[in-house]
Structures are given as structure tokens and as C-alpha cells.
Amino acid sequence: MGCASSKQFRRAPPHEDAALLAKETTFSLNEVEALYELFKKISYSIFKDGLIHKEEFQLALFRNSNRKNLFADRIFDLFDLKRNGVIEFEEFVRSLHIFHPDTPMADKIAFAFRLYDLRGTGSIEREELKEMVLAILNESDLLLSDDAVEQIVDQTFKQADLNSDGRIDPDEWKEFASKNPALLKNMTLPYLKDITMSFPSFVVYSGAGDEEL
């Protein structure tokens, strides 16, 4: 799951590391330093090793470390840039950058595409879309009939799969997302602009209704 080291128990990230992250993301230096405090809070909630494990990530998102949900798993996997089963501070900042209000929409669209591309094939297939729709509805505590879910998936593919090949490629997704901005509502966390003012709970929670999927 990852080993703790003396580097991971620092009270603050080295100034040069924080400065580099600020330079390469939307966050300012002060915001990066504030995010480190939030990172410590999450990474010491269960395992206390200075790394965010999946259980800690789920606890921060849903207040439940044992709740299984595809949406949470996908977000964690995309934050885990090194694919080593834990999230380090640099990964945390670079991934949260996507959710900053000032991050270009193209970056948010690309992230959302990878979120739905469950198999990592470079395209979104119908079954993948259905799985994510069900996961988001579950997190939103929305109960829809099987027919309603199928209708959402069918309608989405009808609009997005422009060449009717049974899959949505990145270009088709970009066009679809541009025409349906509600799809990206959860790709922006407004409080990240005020991260130096307070330390809210880290929540990437979907409040999307069926019309926004």
C-alpha cells in the first residue's frame, strides 16, 4: 500500500516543491500550502502515514471508509497517478487542480472522459456509461427504474456517438460535453478558490439529476 518515510511527515512541503506545483497548476503558492494542511488531515485519518489510502479517500468523500462505490473508485484511481495504491501530496494537488474553477474547460472535459472510460480503451462504450450513470445515481440517492436508466444511456449515445459506431471517442465526448455543460458541474469545486480562507471537508459529491447525466 506504500511505505511512510521521513519525507512524508514534514510539517509543510519544501518551498521549492510547493512553488513548482503552484507554477504547474492553477493554485497559488499559498493555496498549495493550505492544501498540504488538508492533505495531512485526510492522510492521517486512518493509517497516519502521510499518504492517502483508498479507505481514507472514501471517508473524506462519503464519511464512510467501507462503502463501495464505482464513482469513488474511479476518482481515486485517477488521483493515483503513479498507480501504486496511494495518493501522495503532489498527486493530490495535480489532480485537485482539475476541479479548480479557473482550470480550462478542456482539461475538465478530458478528465471526465477518463472517468467514464472504465476500461482505459480510449473510448466510452455503452456498458461503461451505464455503470457510471448507476454509480452517480447511487451517490445522489436517486432511485430510477431500469427503463429510466436505459433511456438515459440511449439518449446520451444518440447525442454523443456521432458516427454510430457504438462507442464515444474523445472528440465526440468533447463536442457532447460542450453542448451539455451540466455534465461537467461536478468537475468544479468552488471552494478551491477560497482554500486559504478555510479548510472545508474534501467532497467530490455528485448532486446530478438524471437530466444532468
Q: How many other C-beta atoms are found inside a 10 Å radius of the C-beta of residue 91?
A: 19
145 part of a folded domain: yes
User: By residue range, what is the domain housing residue 95?
Assistant: 17-99
Please tell me whether residues 43 and 110 are part of one structural domain: no
Name the residue with higher pLDDT: 26 or 63.
26
In a domain, 200, yes or no: no
Regarding whether 87 and 32 lie in a shared domain, the answer is yes
Lowest mean pLDDT among 10-24, 99-113, 123-137: 10-24
- C-alpha grid cell, residue 47: 493509517
What pLDDT shows up at residue 210?
41
Give per-residue pLDDT as tens, 137-183: 887 778 899 999 999 999 999 999 999 999 999 999 999 999 999 88
Beta bridge pairs of residue 144? none
The reply to whether 154 falls in a domain is: yes
Claim to verify: residue 60 and residue 32 sit in the same structural domain: yes
Tell me, yes or no, whether 204 lies in a domain: no
End position of a domain, from candidates 99, 131, 165: 99
Task: Give domain status of residue 119, yes or no.
Answer: yes
Task: Select from 68, 99, 130 the last residue of a domain.
Answer: 99
What is the CATH classification number for the domain harbouring 147? 1.10.238.10
Q: Read off the DSSP letter of residue 7.
A: G
Q: What is the pLDDT of residue 183?
A: 87
Q: 56-77: per-residue pLDDT in tens?
A: 998 887 776 666 778 889 999 9
94 and 108 in a single domain? The answer is no
Residues 142, 86 share a domain: no
3 found inside a domain: no
Determine the average pLDDT of the residues in 78-102: 95
- Mean pLDDT of all residues in 103-113: 95
Average pLDDT, the chain: 85
Whether 105 has a pLDDT exceeding 60, the answer reads yes
Q: Three-class SS of residue 118?
A: coil
Is 192 among the domain residues?
no
Task: Give the model's pLDDT for residue 178.
Answer: 94
| Domain C-terminal end among 75, 99, 123 | 99
Classify residue 43: in a domain, yes or no: yes
Note the pTM of the prediction, 2 decimals. 0.82
At 168 the three-state DSSP class reads strand
d(CA 49, CA 52): 8
pLDDT at 72: 84
pLDDT of residue 10: 56
β-bridge pairing 167-168 and 124-125: antiparallel
